[in-house]
Structure 1
Amino acid sequence: MKKATYAAVGIALLLIAIKSYAYFATNSVAMLSTLVDSMLDLGASAINLIAVRQSLVPADRDHRFGHGKAEALAGLFQSAIITGSAVFLLFQAGERLINPKTVYAGDVGIIVMVVSIVLTLVLVLYQRNVIRKTNSVAISADSLHYVGDVLINGGVILALILDTFFHLRFADGLFGILIALILLVSAWKIIRTSFADLMDEELGDEERENIKTIVLQQPGVLGIHDLRTRRSGQQVFIQMHIDMDGGISLHDAHTISDAVEARLMAEYPESEAIVHQDPIRVNDVPETLN
């Protein structure tokens, strides 16, 4: 995760450098839009770098559940920055749409955008690999920026082609507006993901059903109810009540609970499970599970 944040900051700095050159060479508002977007990416990636380092700090006396929610807080901060900049771009692009200006050195801008797309795709592929291994909210939010960048850079190339070779002056401002709207959509997705983490939203139905299946595979478990789940950064917290034969010893009940926790840890290495044992008579095993 730390390496992914370092890679994102490095790529963002490189993109800002080449896009700044392209903007001053082309005088394109679409190019300005993607330059501003890369500046946002740098800020967001820098915030992620700090948030990821904080989220990976082990639980301590004052933070018994760890520091995982630092990732979600970083996501909210990122979305606020992106939203403000998108609104700024809307005004800039709207003015250019009403009062079109000549775009210069369109070929330079196109070459820079192609290079930007290649660099961004390499970063996104690396981030996706990290996300598969860690399920990091912060890296997912950062990757979402750069996936949007691929679309944005493609849009800028199209705008430059239409303006430079077909003399469609409105294309520059129009694509600037479209890019701003893409940024707003990205900000909304980050907000939703961050709020799900901060508000202790349940895991998805598929994951919950998988947890139930794992628990019920343990010999001695007769049922499961009151399953509660939440995610905080890298950690998943699972709480449940399991039904067991009331006639077994406390030692055996504890052994079964430990086995359930071990099964869950094998499937979700980042999880922490709390299991409460409910004694029931074997003849009272419920036909349906909650």
Structure 2
Amino acid sequence: MAIGGQSSNGSEEDGVRAGRVWVRQLAILSLVTAFAVMGLKFLAWWLTGSVALLSDALESIVNVVAACAALMAISIAHKPADEGHPFGHHKAEYFSAVLEGVLIVLAALLIISEAVPALFEPRPLDNSSAGIAINLLATIINAVLAITLLREGKRYRSPALQADGRHIMTDVWTSVGVVVALILSGLTGWLWLDPVIAILVAINILYHGARVVMSSLDRLMDRAVDPEEQALIERSIREEAEGAIEVHDIRTRIAGPARFIEFHLVVDRNMSVAAAHDICDRIETGIRRKVEGARVTIHVEPDQKSEPHGLPLA
């Protein structure tokens, strides 16, 4: 016997819709900014001829593609559940996040492919002051955007926004490394610093790209909620389960902003269906108050179904 549902009020639904609109607007802002930053970085490379600046500009092409993918994934993820996808389309964002990670790795490989030849044939830099100024402007724009995407992506549990934010933050560190390379090359005359720093930045980007890919793949494998959220769910059940005997087999999985929660609730075998349903409603409401995006399914069982590993409630 399974009891559970998705009761909600109008204000909650309005808040969810407003959050979705804001997440999509941020994805659009990320795409527009990616185009603007790409233009600035290619201008900086054209003025200086720096291989580090060229590697930075090449990574910006990847940023544009990634921003397009993030916007598309967010648009799909926000579609309501339908007959073919009764649990919704939340996981679309994870596919975007995996692509972001792959593109980060690709950007690092592009940087290395440009830097290694320049390591053996260093080139003098022109108009380095202008290149530094333009690159710093692009870096500041990217840093503000990355911090915003990471903060809001975490707030609204958007894997695509968070991956995009991490991607852009790697671009920020790339740009910082490029500026350091240009300044040191200008002060010391050591032209080999330009490609060396570009390669070091690429190695750092490879590491972050691999982390994004592994994390996103893990979420696609129906990863459970973290221990803190699990403890919050168990506490909510205990607080609202008056009249029940035990809960066991609590299972959870994450899908974008949604948290799917399922467990078995043991009650007295003589309890009426209506009384058991009232307990389930209280528990579900309590969980939804504490865990945003919770989708709760409760399997009600008679007391002879108690399990040794169950959590006593009485």
**TM-score (norm: length of structure 1):** 0.93
Taking a change above 3 Å as real, the CA distance of residues 286 and 220 of structure 1, as seen in their structure-2 partners, is: farther
Number of the residue aligned with 2:301? 278
C-alpha separation between the residues in 1 aligned to 2:246 and 2:124? 71
Matched positions, count: 289
> Which residues of 2 match residues 1-290 of structure 1 at below 5 A?
1-218=23-240, 219-280=242-303, 289=311
Aligned-residue offset at 1:11: 1.1
C-alpha separation between the residues in 2 aligned to 1:238 and 1:146? 33
Aligned-residue offset at 1:66: 0.7
Identity, in percent, stands at 27
Taking a change above 3 Å as real, the CA distance of residues 245 and 203 of structure 1, as seen in their structure-2 partners, is: same
| Structure 2 alignment gaps of length 5 or more | 1-22
Moved more, 89-98 or 199-208: 89-98
C-alpha separation between the residues in 2 aligned to 1:289 and 1:270? 24
Moved more, 197-206 or 85-94: 85-94
C-alpha separation between the residues in 1 aligned to 2:244 and 2:135? 59
Aligned-residue offset at 1:84: 2.6
C-alpha separation between the residues in 2 aligned to 1:245 and 1:109? 75
C-alpha separation between the residues in 2 aligned to 1:96 and 1:250? 76
Taking a change above 3 Å as real, the CA distance of residues 156 and 66 of structure 1, as seen in their structure-2 partners, is: same
Q: SS of 1:108's equivalent?
A: helix
C-alpha separation between the residues in 2 aligned to 1:85 and 1:133? 28
Aligned-residue offset at 1:109: 1.6
| Maintained 8 Å contact 1:93/1:176 | yes
Instruction: Show CA shifts across 1:217-239 (max 9, x none).
Output: 11224332211111112211111
| Maintained 8 Å contact 1:117/1:153 | yes
Q: SS of 1:217's equivalent?
A: helix
C-alpha separation between the residues in 2 aligned to 1:285 and 1:67? 35
Q: SS of 1:21's equivalent?
A: helix
Aligned residue identity for 1:262: T
Aligned-residue offset at 1:102: 1.0
Instruction: Show CA shifts across 1:85-142 (max 9, x none).
Output: 3223212211212221112111112111221222112212321342243111000100
**TM-score (norm: length of structure 2):** 0.86
Aligned residue identity for 1:228: R
C-alpha separation between the residues in 2 aligned to 1:287 and 1:86? 49
C-alpha separation between the residues in 2 aligned to 1:17 and 1:199? 38
| Maintained 8 Å contact 1:222/1:285 | no
Q: SS of 2:84's equivalent?
A: coil
Aligned-residue offset at 1:247: 3.5
| Maintained 8 Å contact 2:55/2:110 | no
Aligned residue identity for 2:194: D
C-alpha separation between the residues in 2 aligned to 1:14 and 1:171? 28
Aligned-residue offset at 1:285: 9.0
C-alpha separation between the residues in 2 aligned to 1:151 and 1:200? 32
CA RMSD of aligned residues (A): 2.0
Aligned-residue offset at 1:287: 8.5
| Structure 1 alignment gaps of length 5 or more | none
Instruction: Show CA shifts across 1:189-246 (max 9, x none).
Output: 2212211221101111111111111111112243322111111122111111123333
C-alpha separation between the residues in 2 aligned to 1:124 and 1:87? 22
